[in-house]
């Protein structure tokens, strides 16, 4: 990638070799699937930049590897190696309440698709990266997203970071003419506030199987004809803390009978009785469901489908 160096950085290079220069990489990773950020450095001591502390060991030992450079619209990538010696000093994935080791979290996919920015900090005094202009001794070396994770083991793995040109190779169809709404629920296109349809402070009462559990108490919906089926569950404690899942089926109970909730897939980590969560109402992407959530007949103004377009057999 092209890089414009600051005047302070050019002056520091011009002072070499009379002035000793230190260079380290800073890795800004996240938000991850559980909403956490990782700030790591391949330096010896923590370095503060942009209001964040980049640690040499707290999030594992990160090292920058080989980088591909291609001309045109082909995607470039860079390989980063992560080391985590759990016997020397246990390293846990952030936000999991010290219950999930770093490598277990990476293996489970908590890094999948996370944005990554790699900086290079140049210093004449180790640990001081602010020049006459704040942050002027730090240059951006690579920006991308986490791709494939390979060679993963108990203490080491390789993370491929792809630049955003890889998105040009993804299948991206034009907007389809269909009756169902195309918006993701609670997205910017949907325009519904997720917080307005969320029950918080809930907990698991009993476990039925790897992806099914009952609640401690019956959950009432917020909208008149609402449902938690096809909704969103976000765990707020336990090994899945901060991770969201889709609720495939919600079987409501009564005032004294708890509900049963089945996730669409087993969670990344085992659930336990007492794990707390929040749950948001779901939507089947129909006009009726949209009107229920919007609370009025004007829901069609934000509806992302075309329910009144005739099918091809009857179109003139």
Give the pLDDT of residue 298: 73
Q: Where are the beta strands (DSSP E) in the chain?
A: 22-29, 38-41, 47-49, 52-54, 61-67, 77-83, 115-123, 138-150, 156-162, 198-209, 212-215, 231-235, 244-251, 260-263, 276-280
Distances (CA, A) of 221 to 28, 123, 159, 198, 268: 39, 56, 42, 9, 27
Cis peptide upstream of residue 125 (ω within 30 degrees of 0): no
Confidence at residue 131, expressed as pLDDT on a 0 to 100 scale: 56
Under DSSP, the state recorded for 263 is E
Hey, which residues does 235 pair with through a beta bridge? 277
Tell me, what's the pLDDT at 272?
A: 94
Q: How many angstroms separate the CA atoms of 83 and 224, rounded? A: 51
pTM for the structure as a whole: 0.77
DSSP letters for 56-75: SSBTBEEEEEEE---SSSSP
**Cα–Cα distance for residue pair 42/45, rounded to 1 Å:** 9
How many CB atoms sit inside 10 A of residue 88's CB? 9
- Residue in 210, 200, 201, 205 with CA at minimum distance from that of residue 267: 210
pLDDT at 67: 78
pLDDT in tens, the chain (316 residues): 445 666 777 776 676 666 677 789 999 999 999 999 999 999 888 988 888 999 998 999 999 988 777 777 778 899 999 998 766 678 999 988 888 899 999 998 999 999 999 998 887 777 767 655 555 678 888 999 999 999 998 889 999 999 988 888 777 666 677 888 988 899 888 889 999 999 999 999 999 999 999 999 999 999 999 999 999 999 999 999 999 999 999 999 887 889 999 999 999 999 999 999 999 999 999 989 998 998 877 777 888 888 888 776 655 5
Residue ranges covered by each domain of the chain? 7-169, 194-301
DSSP type of residue 136: T
Q: What is the per-residue pLDDT for 157?
A: 94
What is the C-alpha to C-alpha distance for residues 226 and 197, in angstroms, rounded to an integer? 9
Chain centre distance of CA 168: 21
C-beta of residue 88 within 8 angstroms of C-beta of residue 98: no
Beta carbons within 10 angstroms of residue 185's beta carbon: 23
Backbone angles phi, psi at 167, to 5 degrees: -65, -25
* Cα 172 → chain centroid: 21
The reported pLDDT for the residue numbered 173 is 64
Question: How far, in Å, CA of 220 to CA of 197, rounded?
Answer: 11
């Amino acid at each position: 990638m092209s890089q414009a160096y600051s005047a302070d950085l050019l002056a520091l290079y011009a002072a070499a070799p009379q002035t000793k220069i230190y260079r380290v990489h800073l890795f800004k990773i996240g938000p991850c699937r559980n909403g956490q950020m990782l700030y790591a450095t391949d330096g010896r001591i923590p370095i503060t930049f942009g209001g964040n502390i980049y640690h040499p060991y707290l999030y594992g030992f990160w090292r920058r590897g080989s980088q591909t450079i291609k001309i045109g619209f082909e995607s470039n990538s860079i390989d980063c190696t992560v080391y985590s010696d759990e016997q020397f000093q246990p390293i846990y994935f952030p936000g999991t309440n010290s219950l999930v080791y770093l490598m277990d979290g990476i293996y489970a996919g908590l890094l999948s698709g996370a944005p990554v920015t790699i900086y290079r900090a140049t210093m004449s005094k180790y640990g001081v990266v602010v020049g006459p202009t704040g942050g002027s001794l730090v240059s951006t070396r690579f920006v991308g997203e986490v791709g494939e994770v390979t060679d993963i083991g108990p203490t080491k793995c390789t993370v491929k970071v792809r630049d955003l040109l890889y998105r040009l190779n993804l299948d991206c169809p034009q907007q389809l003419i269909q009756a169902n709404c195309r918006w993701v629920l609670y997205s910017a296109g949907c325009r519904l506030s997720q917080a307005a349809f969320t029950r918080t402070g809930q907990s698991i009462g009993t476990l039925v199987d790897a992806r099914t559990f009952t609640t401690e108490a019956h959950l009432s919906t917020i909208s008149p004809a609402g449902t938690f089926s096809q909704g969103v569950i976000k765990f707020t404690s336990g090994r899945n803390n901060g991770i969201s899942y889709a609720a495939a089926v919600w079987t409501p109970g009564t005032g004294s009978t708890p509900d049963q909730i089945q996730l669409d897939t087993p969670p990344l980590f085992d659930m336990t009785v007492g794990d707390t969560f929040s749950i948001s109402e779901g939507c089947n992407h129909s006009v009726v469901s949209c009107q229920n959530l919007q609370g009025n007949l004007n829901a069609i103004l934000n509806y992302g489908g075309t329910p009144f377009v005739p099918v091809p057999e009857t179109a003139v």
